Structure 1
Amino acid sequence: MQVSPRVSAVIPTFGRPELVVRAVRSVLAQTMADLEVIVVVDGPDEATGQALTRLGDRRLRVIELPEKGGAQNARNTGVRAATAPWTAMLDDDDEWLPQKLAKQLAAAQATDAPRPIVASRLLNRTPRAEYAMPRRLRQPGEPWSEYFTVRRGLFHGEGFIQTSTIMAPTEVLRQVPFAPKVPRMQEMDWVLRALGTEGTELLYVEEPLVIWYQDENRPRITFEEKWQQSLDWLRRNESLVTKKAYAAIVMSVVSSMAAPTHSLKVFWLLLREAQRKGRPGFIDYVTFLQIWLIPPALRRTLRDKALSRTSSPQAELV
């Protein structure tokens, strides 16, 4: 007798068969077995199809799209195909720890929220270090847009959400699909829009349940997008964020994409944008200057050394 799945895992992929097989295996190894895995291949990709076929698990379904439409479109396709009441997202280059879904389902059952979105901390694994993120949880009354974006120190990741940590009611993901043309911050964009629907709340499992591989030598879609697209997205969605969050996004996220241009014109444009439409604080200015003055590789090295000394998976649970 076939048991109906409680959770559908959706994984978009293209051209990375070894990575997506690792991701799928991490789903199939969950401590709860009543699940399905939907891999959406973003265009014709024979090598990926063959690699997935070799896994030989009935819980795995593969949908190959006739042409490339982007990761967000692939996620939405997977959500439409899901048969479980809950759907969890997983990027093809990440993996879940074995109790990820069981702990999120327990958290969802323990809350009074009618439609809870459940995220978790993750282990950020880089070529140089490993540390848990987010480094703190949201304070009562803190706007979610500020929790995700406004820094209290020099390094990102205090407040944070990442796609591979998200589990949500399938009906919420269908009601609020991923926006197809968001260049970065897709998770934050989706969560903020979803939280605007009735009965929807966001909660975190405190322990890390996902391994987020930050291999900076591997091309990522978000690294290749232009800063102007992110600024355009922010201007279109100004109502989703507070003024503090607006300034933080401009001076951190958008600036990190724009700084490689070494353009004084762009430097001043973004500074004026943050001051005119946002409410920057001292840390925002320091962040802005370090992004423009310190080479990215050096910033990453300093960040990883600092955070790996002060943050460990065990320390984050205290």
Structure 2
Amino acid sequence: MSTSPDVSVVIPTLNRPELAARAVRSALAQTHANLEVVVVVDGPDPATRTALESIGDERLRVHELPERGKAPNARNQGALAARGQWTALLDDDDEWLPTKIETQLKLAATATKAEPIVATRMISRTPRADTVMPRRLPAPGEPLSEYFTVRRGLFYGDGFIQTSTIMAPTELLRRVPFTVGLRRQQELDWALRAIREPDVELLYVDEPLVLWHQDEDRDRISLQNPWEEQLEWLRANRELFTPRAYAAFTMSVLSSMAAPTRSGHVFRELLSEARKHGRPGAIDYVTFLQIWALPPAVRARLRDVIVGRRATADVH
């Protein structure tokens, strides 16, 4: 490895030594070897430090924070510690396929703007099925807030960005940090703010190069449903969304979080929010009604039947 790595991989973790070690090994196994892996341990965690020390690769650095600050803060601290021109983010419970960084760097070299964000498709793995997301890439001229939020069918995943797929200039991540304290939609919030920068564009690698483990029997942020917190964030960041995107987010993402309340008041509040400040389309109304009518487990099974497919061949 040269003294200055091209890419810094930032992995936040806490109290999941086996998962963190798996993520680190997938980063160190990249075909682009001139990288460093910066693991930010989000508070005292002797077990994780011991597990990482056993890996024995000089490209691995471990930063242990004195107290817990959650994943957005850990990512920000990792970007500050990064030595590479590029920083690639990897959640501790995900894995990369070996050519991810090599492929992203090749795409970055074709960018028309100085600070490209390069994402990839990914394989979303649940106990029932593998699906490739996003199912489509942004159309030319399509507002990215609409790409991320407006569905073309009843289920999420048409347009999508996930933390472990993101590689961006290190200086951009320092200038536009993740929002500390936001529990859900951290990458959406970051991406919508980052692409407002004048020299930034978003590029997508067409092939899935990330394995996103959605183990439903394990606690993870994406299974939490802080809908009131998310509504407050949405209202405070209305300028990041077109009216079409604002309505779609309210009637799909927010509704998915709020529907378990089975509250008619919340149902009416979100419908009013979407109609007052957004511009719902027909698919948004259909999505909204099926989210509130069907239990989450039923929706998940239907989604797997309709859009799921086994992607084992893509992984091995």
Normalised-by-shorter TM-score class: over 0.9
Q: Deviations over 1:85-119 (max 9, x none)?
A: 00000000000000000000000012222111100
The SS at the match of 1:37 is strand
Superposition deviation, residue 224 in structure 1? 2.4
1:125–1:169 distance in 2 versus 1, CA, 3 Å: same
Once residues 292 and 117 of structure 1 are traced to their aligned partners in structure 2, the CA distance between those partners, rounded to angstroms, is: 35
Which residue of 2 is the match for residue 298 of structure 1?
298
Higher mean Cα deviation, 84-93 or 188-197? Answer: 188-197
Superposition deviation, residue 3 in structure 1? 3.4
Once residues 70 and 254 of structure 1 are traced to their aligned partners in structure 2, the CA distance between those partners, rounded to angstroms, is: 22
Q: Deviations over 1:13-54 (max 9, x none)?
A: 111111111000000000011100000011111111111111
1:132–1:265 distance in 2 versus 1, CA, 3 Å: same
Once residues 117 and 314 of structure 1 are traced to their aligned partners in structure 2, the CA distance between those partners, rounded to angstroms, is: 28
Say yes or no: does 1:24 pair with 2:24. yes
Residue identity matched to 1:161: I
Once residues 158 and 226 of structure 2 are traced to their aligned partners in structure 1, the CA distance between those partners, rounded to angstroms, is: 25
Say yes or no: does 1:179 pair with 2:179. yes
CA contact (8 A) 1:208 1:313 kept: no
Say yes or no: does 1:119 pair with 2:102. no
Which residue of 2 is the match for residue 85 of structure 1?
85
The aligned length equals: 314
1:225–1:68 distance in 2 versus 1, CA, 3 Å: farther
CA contact (8 A) 2:2 2:34 kept: no
1:314–1:44 distance in 2 versus 1, CA, 3 Å: closer
Residue identity matched to 1:190: W
Which residue of 2 is the match for residue 149 of structure 1?
149
CA contact (8 A) 1:131 1:313 kept: no
Matches within 5 A, 1:1-318: 2-309=2-309
1:261–1:78 distance in 2 versus 1, CA, 3 Å: same
Once residues 16 and 312 of structure 2 are traced to their aligned partners in structure 1, the CA distance between those partners, rounded to angstroms, is: 28
1:314–1:272 distance in 2 versus 1, CA, 3 Å: farther
Once residues 183 and 283 of structure 2 are traced to their aligned partners in structure 1, the CA distance between those partners, rounded to angstroms, is: 25
The SS at the match of 2:308 is helix
Once residues 91 and 111 of structure 1 are traced to their aligned partners in structure 2, the CA distance between those partners, rounded to angstroms, is: 26
Superposition deviation, residue 2 in structure 1? 4.2
Once residues 197 and 190 of structure 1 are traced to their aligned partners in structure 2, the CA distance between those partners, rounded to angstroms, is: 12
Superposition deviation, residue 217 in structure 1? 1.3
Higher mean Cα deviation, 102-111 or 214-223? Answer: 214-223
CA contact (8 A) 2:12 2:71 kept: yes
CA contact (8 A) 1:227 1:254 kept: yes
Superposition deviation, residue 314 in structure 1? 8.5
The SS at the match of 1:110 is coil
Q: Deviations over 1:180-207 (max 9, x none)?
A: 1223211111111111112111000100
Superposition deviation, residue 282 in structure 1? 1.1
CA contact (8 A) 2:243 2:279 kept: yes
CA contact (8 A) 2:259 2:291 kept: yes
Superposition deviation, residue 223 in structure 1? 2.4
TM-score, length-scaled by structure 2: 0.96
CA contact (8 A) 1:115 1:169 kept: yes
Q: Deviations over 1:187-239 (max 9, x none)?
A: 11111111111211100010001001111111112322411000000000000
Once residues 313 and 194 of structure 2 are traced to their aligned partners in structure 1, the CA distance between those partners, rounded to angstroms, is: 31
List gaps (5 residues or longer) in structure 2. none
CA contact (8 A) 1:117 1:201 kept: yes
Superposition deviation, residue 313 in structure 1? 8.6
CA contact (8 A) 1:183 1:225 kept: no
% same residue: 62
CA contact (8 A) 2:225 2:258 kept: no
The SS at the match of 2:276 is helix
Residue identity matched to 1:215: D
The SS at the match of 2:104 is helix
